[in-house]
């Protein structure tokens, strides 16, 4: 405690910057807590960015996948819808073909009935004429003005009941120009020799009767029916093939495509003014009278009625037209049981006979085959008759140019080796069925349907193909129109969707960027808040630790200053609380020890004094002669005892003083006093001792010394102690200088001697208790070794300082003889003059 | 005034016996007491001319004895010289406050004590 106090009373400031617990804690917290937070924040930011990129990639990928899926679905949908529409169109056209074939068959069977009915009657010109006139059928005759074809969509008429509104389609009837036309070109009765007996022609009974057993008397000189009639039994019917004059036609290539020359036969829209093919199909059956065959009834069907079935059919939305269009590729045509063309948009394609010779005009061959014919040396007819059916058909072959030039380009399917579809139709109708297939024709994909005409009368019954077959050609593109429209709309919606997906992607990307940015900001904010929280926590924790520590320090300092009544409020039970508690206990213990010490000193001083008192009483009484006369020897011996008692007394007093100084129970009786008096009192007290040692003491004062406020007795004691020190440690006959002067705000006392000086090794110990320099003088002067310690204590109680210089620097005291081992010692005492500083203590 | 009778109060027999012996030899009538109560009764009974009073006493201490003597008309004129080993200023003050005429710190030599007594004879 004493040591602590002395340190504190020296310049108790620590040197250099020292980091306290609080900033250390703060730094520790910052480094420990903030670094991971910052790392965390950085990582989170990075991850967020990464996540953003990945999400973007995923979203974009999803978008692309969606787009691909949409496009894939679109493609499939298009394929499917095209297929569906194709199938639908195909079925529609197939059905139309089949129904056409059935209607033709029905029509032909009606002719059988007409014949049978008329054959039951006795041959009678008037009856035949009536039959002729009563058998008529409408045919479409094109108007001169070209007409807008109906689109096929709902026109004009709409639903009247809302229930029917869904899917309402209406098509007005075709407004074609129809005229009634006799079904038969002629009705005849011929006798068994072939002589025409009755003949109704053009509505009149003809007198121009001929023998038809001769071919030149027949239609186009081409009919050979009479020889076949003789074998007919009753009720049996003969039906001829189509007989008619072949009508020539010429095709040529123009920039717009293939065209028909005007001098050609009728070819629908391509050549509406050309000669139409005129032909007949002759029916014949034997006529019996009274069970006896008398002749034959023949009825020649005007072939126009058969052609009428196919000539106006259009396999598009147009459905029907006044004029068929061979160039469009969308039309129906008809083939007989021998696969020869008997109805076509282009009449020059219909097989016929040379009316001059009655010879059949050979069908159109490929150039290869035609060249073959030329090299054969045979006539064309003979060559064709020998030519195997459906030999080596190929689209790669071109039609013979010679026939094109001659205008004789009838279509005979068995030898038309440039058209492989012929073989298809032939094959497809073998069993009388119907069907379709696709073929690339003239650079266009065509759906071609076929249906056998189930008419089996006469020689037509020799094959299941019957009368022949109907075919319809349709440009695939035309009936793909709907599918293509669907394709376009689907592609459009895919494009829209693609755009949607793209913009959705962009939006999603922007959203992800945005949210990543927001998250980044959030994390930064959280990090900042967390850092601030950590700093606050560190500050609070630091204060929590350092505040009580500061209180402890203050308490300890107060205790060291002698203020022992220190108690620190204990709030917590933790280590700090324990420390505070321990501190309080220690403070109590210190206070107790201090109290005990004071008590001890008081008691001890009293207890010492009493026996000393007894000794002094006795010895003083004897020395003063109160116990009778004593001799000199006794007196000298008792004087030794008396000196010892005196030293004991000084020791007791010094101990008491020291105890009081150290326990700060030292009371100063400050009063105004002159510096000179202090010194004079001290000198007078030790004058005997100075004399005894043979020293010379010299007092020196500066001219004007102020009075000071000090405890005069105590300050005299200080000077006495210093003087005693000099007296003891200076060889006899030494010189002692006592002085006082004013220096700044201080009064400086000095006591110098020309003794041996204080050895350097002892400098630190001069003011320590019971320190005595090793000196031969010490025994003689006595001394407790407490004088300088007490002097220092008194000076410091006054707020002053005490120090010494040894050896004395040369020239400091000119009248102090120094030299050799007389190095000298000087003590300085600085006392502040200020009244406040003194009374403050 | 003439001092004939001296009351010596001290708890140490060595002290009061020594003083009794020496002072009697010098012609004083000396009575003694070794505690506070005895000091009071002796003072009232013997009516000494001066009292040498120790402070630290059994039963009743010197301060209390001094107070009682100084508060009684019978004894208050008797000079009291306090002799004490307690040498601190507060103790001295306490003694003087109690009415002591002198306060002497032990140890003190016999000639000094004699000098103090003779001072009251003048």
Pick from B15, B88, B109: CB nearest A620: B109
| pLDDT value, residue A799 | 86
Q: How many CB pairs under 8 A join A and B?
A: 68
* A622: three-class secondary structure by DSSP: helix
Q: Is the pLDDT of residue A3 over 50?
A: no
Q: Is residue A810 classed exposed, middle or buried when 0-12, 13-18 and 19+ CB atoms within 10 A define those classes?
A: exposed
pTM comes to 0.50
Least confident residue range of A160-169, A417-426, A457-466 = A160-169
Is the peptide bond between B107 and the residue preceding it cis, with omega within 30 degrees of 0? yes
Cβ-contact A215, A222 below 8 angstroms: yes
Chain B residue whose CA is closest to A610: B85
Q: Strands (DSSP E) along A177-245, which ranges?
A: 178-182, 184-191, 196-201, 204-205, 238-239, 243-244
Which of the listed ranges A385-394, A494-503, A762-771 does the model predict with the highest average pLDDT? A385-394
Q: Quick check: A617 and B110 CB within 8 A?
A: yes
| pLDDT value, residue A713 | 86
pLDDT, mean of residues A105-127: 94
Q: Is the pLDDT of residue A474 over 70?
A: yes
Contacts of A607 in chain B (CB under 8 A): 85
**Res. A76 pLDDT band, cuts 50 70 90:** confident
| pLDDT value, residue A540 | 84
Q: Is the pLDDT of residue A560 over 80?
A: no
- What does pLDDT average to over chain A? 84
| pLDDT value, residue A144 | 62
* Cα–Cα distance for residue pair B57/B83, rounded to 1 Å: 11
Helix (H), strand (E) counts: chain A: 19, 23
Least confident residue range of A168-177, A398-407, A464-473, B55-64 = A168-177
Model confidence pLDDT, tens digit, residues A671-713: 888 888 888 889 998 888 889 888 988 888 877 788 888 888 8
**Res. A54 pLDDT band, cuts 50 70 90:** confident
Chain A residue whose CA is closest to B89: A667
| pLDDT value, residue A17 | 56
Least confident residue range of A57-66, A91-100, A397-406, A804-813 = A57-66
**Res. A148 pLDDT band, cuts 50 70 90:** low
| pLDDT value, residue A778 | 47
Chain B residue whose CA is closest to A660: B88
Cβ-contact A748, A801 below 8 angstroms: no
Q: Is the pLDDT of residue A786 over 50?
A: yes
> Tokens standing for A276?
């139409």
| pLDDT value, residue A707 | 84
Contacts of A711 in chain B (CB under 8 A): none
| pLDDT value, residue A512 | 80
Q: Is the pLDDT of residue A16 over 60?
A: no
Q: Please, what sign has the CA dihedral across residues A643, A646, A652, A658?
A: negative
Which residue of B16, B107, B116 is the best one to mutate when testing the A interface, meaning the one whose CB has the most A CBs within 10 A?
A: B107
Instruction: State the angle between helix axes of A787-797 and A712-729 in degrees (0 to 180), rounded to the nearest 10.
Output: 150
Least confident residue range of A209-223, A392-406, A612-626, B84-98 = B84-98
A interface toward B at CB cutoff 8 Å? 602, 605-610, 612-621, 624, 626, 645, 649, 656, 667, 669
Least confident residue range of A68-77, A740-749, A810-819, B83-92 = A68-77
Residue A503: which residues within 8 A CB-CB, separation 6 or more?
none
* A373: three-class secondary structure by DSSP: helix
Q: Is the pLDDT of residue A777 over 80?
A: no
Percent of chain A with pLDDT over 90: 38
Least confident residue range of A23-27, A113-117, A315-319, A503-507 = A23-27
Cβ-based neighbour number of residue A68 at 10 Å: 12
| pLDDT value, residue A479 | 65
Chain A residue whose CA is closest to B108: A613
> Tokens standing for A519?
């998250």
| pLDDT value, residue A233 | 92
Model confidence pLDDT, tens digit, residues A298-355: 999 999 999 999 999 988 888 888 888 888 888 899 999 999 999 999 999 999 999 9
Which residue of B106, B108, B111, B115 is the best one to mutate when testing the A interface, meaning the one whose CB has the most A CBs within 10 A?
A: B106
User: Taking Cα atoms as reference points, which of A566, A615, A612 lies closest to residue A586?
Assistant: A566
Q: Quick check: A616 and B108 CB within 8 A?
A: yes
| pLDDT value, residue A11 | 41
Query: Phi, psi (5° rounding) for residue A644?
Result: -60, -45
pLDDT, mean of residues A549-577: 78
| pLDDT value, residue A146 | 53
Cβ-based neighbour number of residue A230 at 10 Å: 11
Comparing A51 with A243, the larger pLDDT belongs to A243
**Res. A730 pLDDT band, cuts 50 70 90:** confident
DSSP letters spanning B26-85: TT-EEEEESSHHHHHHHHHHH--SEEEEESS-SSS-HHHHHHHHHHSTTTTTS-EEEEES
* B120: three-class secondary structure by DSSP: coil
Chain A residue whose CA is closest to B109: A617
The pairs formed by A314-321 with CB atoms below 8 angstroms and a separation of 24 or more are: A315/A93, A315/A96, A315/A472, A315/A473, A315/A474, A315/A478, A315/A479, A316/A152, A316/A474, A316/A478, A316/A479, A317/A151, A317/A152, A317/A153, A318/A149, A318/A150, A318/A152, A319/A150, A319/A152, A319/A171, A319/A174, A320/A174, A320/A176, A321/A149
Q: Is the pLDDT of residue A2 over 50?
A: no
Chain B residue whose CA is closest to A668: B89
* Cα–Cα distance for residue pair A608/A699, rounded to 1 Å: 37
Question: Which CA distances in Å does A405 have to A248, A249, A409?
Answer: 10, 9, 9
Shortest CA gap A727–chain B (Å):
26
DSSP letters spanning B75-111: TTTS-EEEEES--SHHHHHHHHHTT-SEEEESS--HH
Q: Is residue A402 classed exposed, middle or buried when 0-12, 13-18 and 19+ CB atoms within 10 A define those classes?
A: middle
Model confidence pLDDT, tens digit, residues A519-532: 878 888 887 888 78
Q: Quick check: A616 and B107 CB within 8 A?
A: yes
* A802: three-class secondary structure by DSSP: strand
Q: Please, what sign has the CA dihedral across residues A675, A678, A679, A680?
A: positive
Model confidence pLDDT, tens digit, residues B25-54: 989 999 999 999 999 999 999 999 999 999
**Res. A9 pLDDT band, cuts 50 70 90:** very low
Shortest CA gap B111–chain A (Å):
7
Cβ-contact A37, A537 below 8 angstroms: no
Q: Quick check: A605 and B85 CB within 8 A?
A: yes
* Cα–Cα distance for residue pair A387/A286, rounded to 1 Å: 36
| pLDDT value, residue A354 | 94
Pick from A608, A613, A669: CB nearest B108: A613
pLDDT, mean of residues A707-720: 88
| pLDDT value, residue A482 | 66
* Cα–Cα distance for residue pair A227/A194, rounded to 1 Å: 9
Q: Angle at the Cα of A687 (from A686 to A689), degrees rounded to 5?
A: 65
In what helix (H) or strand (E) does residue A469 lie, and over which residues does it extend?
A: strand A468-475
| pLDDT value, residue A5 | 38
Q: A698 has which bridge partners?
A: A737
Question: Which CA distances in Å does A58 have to A61, A278, A505, A509, A513?
Answer: 5, 76, 10, 10, 14
pLDDT, mean of residues A193-218: 93
Which residue of B52, B110, B112 is the best one to mutate when testing the A interface, meaning the one whose CB has the most A CBs within 10 A?
A: B110
User: Taking Cα atoms as reference points, which of A493, A498, A441 lies closest to residue A471?
Assistant: A441
Q: Is the pLDDT of residue A6 over 50?
A: no
Q: Name residues 6-25 of chain B within 8 A of A (Cβ).
A: 12, 14-15, 18-19, 22, 25
Chain A residue whose CA is closest to B56: A606
């Amino acid at each position: 405690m004493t040591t602590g106090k002395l340190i504190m009373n020296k310049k108790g400031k620590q040197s250099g910057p020292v980091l306290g617990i609080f900033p250390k804690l703060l730094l520790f917290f910052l480094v420990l807590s903030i670094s991971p937070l910052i790392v965390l924040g950085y990582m989170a930011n990075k991850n967020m960015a990464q996540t953003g990129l990945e999400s973007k990639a995923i979203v974009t990928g999803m978008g692309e996948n969606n787009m691909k899926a949409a496009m894939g679905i679109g493609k499939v949908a298009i394929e499917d819808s095209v297929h569906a529409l194709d199938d639908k169109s195909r079925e529609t056209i197939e059905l139309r073909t089949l129904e056409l074939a059935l209607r033709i068959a029905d029509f032909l069977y009606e002719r059988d009935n007409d014949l049978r009915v008329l054959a039951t009657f006795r041959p009678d010109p008037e009856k035949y004429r009536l039959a002729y006139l009563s058998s008529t059928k409408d045919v479409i005759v094109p108007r001169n003005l070209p007409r807008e074809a109906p689109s096929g969509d709902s026109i004009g008429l709409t639903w009247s009941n809302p229930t029917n509104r869904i899917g309402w389609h209406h098509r007005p009837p075709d407004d074609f120009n129809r005229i009634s036309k006799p079904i038969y070109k002629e009705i005849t009765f011929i006798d068994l020799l072939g002589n025409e007996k009755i003949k109704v022609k053009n509505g009149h009974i003809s007198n121009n009767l001929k023998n038809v057993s001769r071919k030149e008397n027949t239609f186009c000189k081409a009919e050979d029916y009479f020889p076949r009639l003789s074998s007919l039994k009753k009720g049996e019917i003969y039906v001829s093939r189509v007989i008619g004059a072949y009508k020539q036609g010429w095709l040529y290539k123009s920039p717009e495509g293939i065209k028909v020359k005007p001098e050609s036969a009728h070819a629908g829209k391509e050549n509406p003014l050309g000669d139409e093919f005129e032909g007949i199909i002759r029916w014949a059956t034997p006529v019996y009278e009274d069970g006896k065959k008398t002749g034959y009834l023949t009825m020649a069907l005007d072939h126009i009625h058969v052609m009428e079935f196919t000539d106006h059919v259009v396999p598009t939305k147009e459905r029907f037209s006044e004029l068929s269009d061979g160039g469009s590729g969308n039309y129906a045509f008809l083939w007989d049981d021998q696969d020869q063309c008997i109805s076509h948009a282009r009449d020059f394609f219909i097989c016929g006979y040379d009316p001059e010779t009655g010879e059949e005009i050979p069908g159109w061959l490929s150039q290869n085959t035609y060249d073959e014919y030329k090299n054969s040396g045979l006539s064309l007819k003979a060559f064709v008759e020998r030519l195997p059916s459906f030999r080596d058909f190929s689209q790669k072959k071109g039609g013979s140019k010679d026939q094109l030039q001659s205008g004789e380009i009838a279509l005979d399917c068995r030898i038309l080796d440039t058209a492989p579809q012929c073989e298809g139709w032939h094959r497809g109708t073998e069993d009388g069925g119907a069907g379709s297939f696709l073929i690339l024709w003239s650079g266009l994909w065509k759906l071609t349907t076929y249906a056998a005409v189930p008419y089996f009368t006469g020689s037509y019954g020799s094959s299941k193909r019957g009368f022949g077959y109907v075919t319809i050609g349709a440009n695939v593109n035309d009936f793909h129109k709907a599918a293509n429209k669907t394709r376009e709309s689907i592609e459009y919606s895919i494009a829209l969707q693609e755009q949607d997906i793209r913009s959705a992607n962009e939006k999603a990307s922007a959203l992800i960027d945005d949210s990543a940015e927001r998250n980044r900001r959030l994390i930064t904010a959280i990090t900042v808040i967390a850092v601030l929280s950590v700093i606050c926590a560190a500050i609070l924790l630091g204060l929590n630790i350092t505040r009580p520590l500061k209180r402890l320090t203050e308490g300890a300092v107060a205790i060291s200053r002698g203020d022992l009544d220190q108690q620190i409020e204990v709030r917590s039970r933790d280590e700090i609380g324990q420390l505070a508690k321990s501190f309080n206990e220690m403070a109590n213990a210190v206070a107790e020890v201090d109290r005990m010490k004071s008590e001890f000193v008081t008691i001890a001083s009293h207890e010492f004094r009493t026996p000393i008192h007894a000794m002094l009483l006795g010895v003083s009484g004897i020395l003063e002669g109160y116990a009778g006369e004593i001799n000199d020897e006794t007196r000298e011996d008792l004087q030794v005892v008396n000196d010892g008692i005196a030293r004991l007394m000084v020791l007791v007093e010094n101990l008491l003083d020291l105890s009081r100084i150290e326990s700060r129970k030292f009371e100063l009786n400050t009063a105004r006093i002159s510096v000179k008096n202090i010194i004079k009192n001290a000198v007078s007290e030790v004058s005997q001792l100075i004399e005894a040692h043979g020293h010379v003491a010299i007092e020196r004062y500066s001219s004007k010394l102020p009075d000071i406020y000090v405890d005069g007795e105590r300050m005299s004691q200080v000077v006495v102690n210093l003087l005693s020190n000099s007296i003891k440690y200076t060889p006899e006959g030494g010189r002692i200088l006592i002085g006082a002067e004013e220096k700044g705000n201080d009064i400086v006392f000095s006591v110098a001697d020309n003794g041996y000086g204080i050895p350097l090794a002892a400098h630190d110990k001069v003011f320590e208790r019971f320190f005595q320099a090793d000196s031969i003088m010490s025994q003689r002067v006595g001394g407790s070794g407490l004088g300088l310690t007490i002097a220092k204590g008194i000076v410091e109680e006054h707020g002053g300082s005490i120090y010494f210089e040894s050896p004395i620097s040369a020239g400091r005291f000119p009248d102090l003889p120094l030299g050799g081992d007389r190095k000298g010692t000087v003590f300085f005492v600085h006392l502040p003059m200020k009244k406040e500083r003194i009374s403050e203590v | 005034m003439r001092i004939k009778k001296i009351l010596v109060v001290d708890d140490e027999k060595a002290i009061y016996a020594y003083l009794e012996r020496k002072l009697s030899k010098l012609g004083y009538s000396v009575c003694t007491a070794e505690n506070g109560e005895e000091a009071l009764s002796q003072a009232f009974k013997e009516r000494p001319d001066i009292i040498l009073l120790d402070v630290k006493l059994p039963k009743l201490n010197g301060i209390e004895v001094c107070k009682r003597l100084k508060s009684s008309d019978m004894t208050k004129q008797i000079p009291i010289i306090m002799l004490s080993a307690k040498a601190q200023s507060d103790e001295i003050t306490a003694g003087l406050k109690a009415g002591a005429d002198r306060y002497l710190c032990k140890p003190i030599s016999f000639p000094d004590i004699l000098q103090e007594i003779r001072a009251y004879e003048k």
